[in-house]
């Protein structure tokens, strides 16, 4: 059984071309907001200046094969599976939100541009609902339980700051979108539709003030982090060499004196516990 | 000089907040990243620098071990049981690595149970030593103290 395209019924009241122009406008707002964000924060300038400084400290030159391999590792670990999050709950919540958002946005665009006047849009309505549910669950889980100031400082859920624009508008977009889809045709449905549009316009129109643009910067930062470790500059951090290496033992005589020629595995230390005392 | 946080590296995990003995590492309400709320009160103990899993916290080193403007960064590798330091001078010509064994007790094994401790005797009260201060760390009553001279051995699990 195919699920009905939620935009087909809407097309009876709002022209598909208006919907299409709204999507185009949102894309333009995201592009413009991201460019303004980069200019305002000078993040790209800092990023490239820092990359240049690190390159000057590089111990060796990376060939294109190595760079490609690092790019693939970044794609597999940080981009597709959010491996940079040490907290597994945070990671799962981020994955739900990220994939939910991608499904939601892509299926919305496909249904508006391809199936605006057809109730049967194949698998896309199902993907739209799944995306919205995943986005809403991941976002609400983060908002009420995981975000650090809730977890650590006990701040109430209704205390919203400027940097919450992104997560709050993500949650409200998905929740109001879902509620609108279920109540279409009624007066309540139109109220929810207005809230849905208000939320999505806030989400895509406030890139300059929100953390929306992190999705474009984070892969570049994660790739750069792998590059600086591979080329030996290591972001100015020290290397922790193989302690059984005789050359290392000669250079640092404290190691064999106190730890022996073959230092044992010392355990996880601070990593054995997640931080929860604050 | 006090700690500071590279906001772009911090992911707000809270390890530094947990470990700070001065309770001055907090999570910012707006950006949800760690920051030092009161740099004047920072002891520069490096606990947060070593605890940070993202290496997002730094301390500007004093001019008594390198000319100002240098970079001093540290990594505490508990699995190998060592602390590594790297000092780079501001002209980039001096790039220095240091490595030393971790000499503190394993995480979570040295929580003092003061409720069970016996009350101090009069002799202890009259002493110059602080409560529980081990005599062998004192430097003013003889030669340099070592593990051997105090009958101690380096054991697996980062004990002294």
Residues A131-149 pLDDT 10s: 999 999 999 999 988 876 6
Closest among B9, B72, B91 to A238, alpha carbons compared: B72
Note whether residue A235 is domain-resident: no
Q: Which residue has the higher pLDDT, A163 or B45?
A: B45
Q: Which residue has the higher pLDDT, A76 or B32?
A: A76
B37 touches chain A (CB under 8 A): no
Q: Locate tokens 């990220």: which residue?
A: A98
Note whether residue A256 is domain-resident: yes
Tell me: do B14 and B91 sit in the same domain.
Answer: yes
> What are the phi and psi torsion angles at B60 (to 5°)?
-75, 125
How far apart are the CA of A230 and the nearest CA of chain B, in angstroms? Answer: 17
Tell me: do B20 and B97 sit in the same domain.
Answer: yes
Cβ contact A258–B154 (<8 Å): yes
Q: Are B43 and B21 in contact (CB under 8 A)?
A: yes
Cβ contact B77–A240 (<8 Å): yes
How far apart are the CA of B101 and the nearest CA of chain A, in angstroms? Answer: 6
**Which pTM was predicted?**
0.79
Tell me: do B117 and B88 sit in the same domain.
Answer: no
Cβ of B143: how many Cβ atoms within 10 Å? 7
Confidence of residue A28 (pLDDT cuts 50, 70, 90): very high
Note whether residue A194 is domain-resident: yes
| Number of domains within chain A | 2
What is the pLDDT, as a whole number, of residue A137? 97
CA A117/CA B30 separation, integer angstroms:
43
Q: Say whether pLDDT at A278 is over 60.
A: no
Tell me: do A28 and A76 sit in the same domain.
Answer: yes
Tell me: do A249 and A182 sit in the same domain.
Answer: no
CA B56/CA B48 separation, integer angstroms:
10
Domain that holds residue A83: 6-230
Tell me: do B87 and B13 sit in the same domain.
Answer: yes
Tell me: do A136 and A67 sit in the same domain.
Answer: yes
How far apart are the CA of A176 and the nearest CA of chain B, in angstroms? Answer: 25
Closest among B49, B23, B50 to B37, alpha carbons compared: B23
Q: Say whether pLDDT at A86 is over 80.
A: no
Note whether residue A278 is domain-resident: no
Note whether residue A236 is domain-resident: no
B156 touches chain A (CB under 8 A): yes
Q: Locate tokens 């940079």: which residue?
A: A84
Domain that holds residue B159: 104-160
Q: Which residue has the higher pLDDT, B107 or A277?
A: B107
Cβ contact B76–A269 (<8 Å): yes
Sequence-ordered alpha helix ranges (H) in chain A: 6-10, 16-41, 43-56, 64-74, 88-114, 124-141, 148-153, 165-183, 187-205, 214-230, 246-251, 254-259
How far apart are the CA of A276 and the nearest CA of chain B, in angstroms? Answer: 7
Tell me: do A59 and A145 sit in the same domain.
Answer: yes
Average per-residue pLDDT in chain B?
Answer: 83
Note whether residue A102 is domain-resident: yes
Interface test with B, best of A238, A250, A251, A274 (most B CBs within 10 A): A238
Note whether residue A169 is domain-resident: yes
Question: ∠A115-A119-A121 over CA atoms, to 5°?
Answer: 50
Tell me: do B22 and B83 sit in the same domain.
Answer: yes
Tell me: do B141 and B87 sit in the same domain.
Answer: no
Tell me: do B35 and B96 sit in the same domain.
Answer: yes
Note whether residue A106 is domain-resident: yes
What is the pLDDT, as a whole number, of residue A107? 96
Give the CA distances from residue A59 to residues A50, A228, B1, B86, in Å, rounded to whole numbers and listed in that order: 16, 10, 29, 15
Which helix or strand (DSSP H or E) is residue B16 part of?
helix B15-19
Q: Say whether pLDDT at A276 is over 80.
A: no
CA A149/CA B52 separation, integer angstroms:
18
Tell me: do A130 and A256 sit in the same domain.
Answer: no
Instruction: Show which of residues 224-253 on chain A sit within 8 Å of chain B, judged by CB atoms.
Output: 234-241, 243, 248, 251-252
Using CB atoms within 10 Å of the CB of residue A36, give its burial: 0 to 12 exposed, 13 to 18 middle, 19+ buried: middle
Tell me: do A42 and A148 sit in the same domain.
Answer: yes
CA A250/CA A237 separation, integer angstroms:
22
Q: Locate tokens 């947990």: which residue?
A: B18
Tell me: do B95 and B38 sit in the same domain.
Answer: yes
Tell me: do B9 and B66 sit in the same domain.
Answer: yes
Closest among B30, B44, B94 to B67, alpha carbons compared: B94
Confidence of residue A113 (pLDDT cuts 50, 70, 90): very high
Q: Where are the beta strands (DSSP E) in chain B?
A: 3-5, 25-27, 34-36, 57-59, 71-77, 82-88, 95-101
Confidence of residue B159 (pLDDT cuts 50, 70, 90): low
Interface test with B, best of A46, A47, A48, A148 (most B CBs within 10 A): A148
Tell me: do A150 and A250 sit in the same domain.
Answer: no
A51 touches chain B (CB under 8 A): no
Tell me: do A149 and A261 sit in the same domain.
Answer: no
Cβ-based neighbours of B160, under 8 Å, separated by 6 or more: B103, B104, B105, B147, B152, B154
Q: Are B85 and B74 in contact (CB under 8 A)?
A: yes
Q: Say whether pLDDT at B110 is over 70.
A: yes
Average per-residue pLDDT in chain A?
Answer: 90
Indicate if ipTM > 0.95: no
| Number of domains within chain B | 2
Tell me: do B12 and B81 sit in the same domain.
Answer: yes
Confidence of residue B136 (pLDDT cuts 50, 70, 90): low
Tell me which residue in B27, B99, B157 faces A266 most closely, judged by beta carbons: B157
Tell me: do A174 and A253 sit in the same domain.
Answer: no
What is the pLDDT, as a whole number, of residue B157? 59
B19 touches chain A (CB under 8 A): yes
Question: Does residue B96 have an active-site annotation?
Answer: no
Q: Locate tokens 């790019």: which residue?
A: A71
Tell me: do A10 and A148 sit in the same domain.
Answer: yes
Interface test with A, best of B6, B11, B16, B59 (most A CBs within 10 A): B11
């Amino acid at each position: 059984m195919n699920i009905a395209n939620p935009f087909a019924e809407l097309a009876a009241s709002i022209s598909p071309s208006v919907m299409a122009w709204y999507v185009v406008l949102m894309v333009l707002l995201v592009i413009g907001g991201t460019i303004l964000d980069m200019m305002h924060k000078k993040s790209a300038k800092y990023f490239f200046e820092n990359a240049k400084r690190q390159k000057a400290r590089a111990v060796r030159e990376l060939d294109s094969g190595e760079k490609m391999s690092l790019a693939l590792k970044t794609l597999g670990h940080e981009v597709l599976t959010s491996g940079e999050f040490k907290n597994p709950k945070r990671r799962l919540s981020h994955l739900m939100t990220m994939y939910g958002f991608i499904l939601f946005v892509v299926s919305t665009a496909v249904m508006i541009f391809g199936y605006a006047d057809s109730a049967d849009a194949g698998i896309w309505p199902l993907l739209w609902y799944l995306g919205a549910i995943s986005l809403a669950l991941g976002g609400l889980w983060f908002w009420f339980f995981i975000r650090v100031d809730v977890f650590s400082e006990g701040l109430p859920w209704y205390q919203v700051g400027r940097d919450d624009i992104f997560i709050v508008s993500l949650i409200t977009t998905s929740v109001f979108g879902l509620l609108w889809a279920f109540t279409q045709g009624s007066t309540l449905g139109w109220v929810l539709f207005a809230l849905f549009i208000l939320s999505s316009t806030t989400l895509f129109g406030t890139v300059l003030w929100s953390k929306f643009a992190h999705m474009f910067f984070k892969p570049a930062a994660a790739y750069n982090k792998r590059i600086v470790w591979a080329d030996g500059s290591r972001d100015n951090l020290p290397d922790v060499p193989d302690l059984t290496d005789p050359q290392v033992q000669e250079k640092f005589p404290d190691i064999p004196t106190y730890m022996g020629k073959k230092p044992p595995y010392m355990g996880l230390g601070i990593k054995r516990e997640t931080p929860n005392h604050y | 000089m006090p700690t500071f946080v590279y906001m772009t590296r911090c992911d707000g995990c809270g390890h530094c907040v947990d470990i700070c003995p001065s309770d001055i590492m907090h999570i910012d309400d707006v950006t949800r990243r760690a920051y030092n709320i009161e740099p004047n009160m920072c002891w520069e103990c490096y606990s947060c620098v070593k605890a940070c899993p993202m290496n997002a916290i730094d301390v500007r080193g004093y001019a008594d071990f390198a000319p100002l403007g240098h970079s001093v960064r540290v990594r505490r590798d508990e699995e190998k049981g060592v602390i590594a330091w790297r000092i780079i001078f501001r002209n980039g010509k001096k790039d220095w690595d240091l490595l030393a064994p971790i000499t503190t007790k394993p995480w979570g094994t040295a929580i003092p149970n003061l409720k069970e401790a016996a009350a101090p005797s009069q002799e202890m009260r009259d002493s110059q030593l602080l409560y529980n201060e081990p005599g062998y760390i004192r430097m003013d009553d003889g030669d340099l103290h070592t593990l051997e001279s105090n009958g101690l051995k380096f054991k697996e699990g980062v004990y002294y």
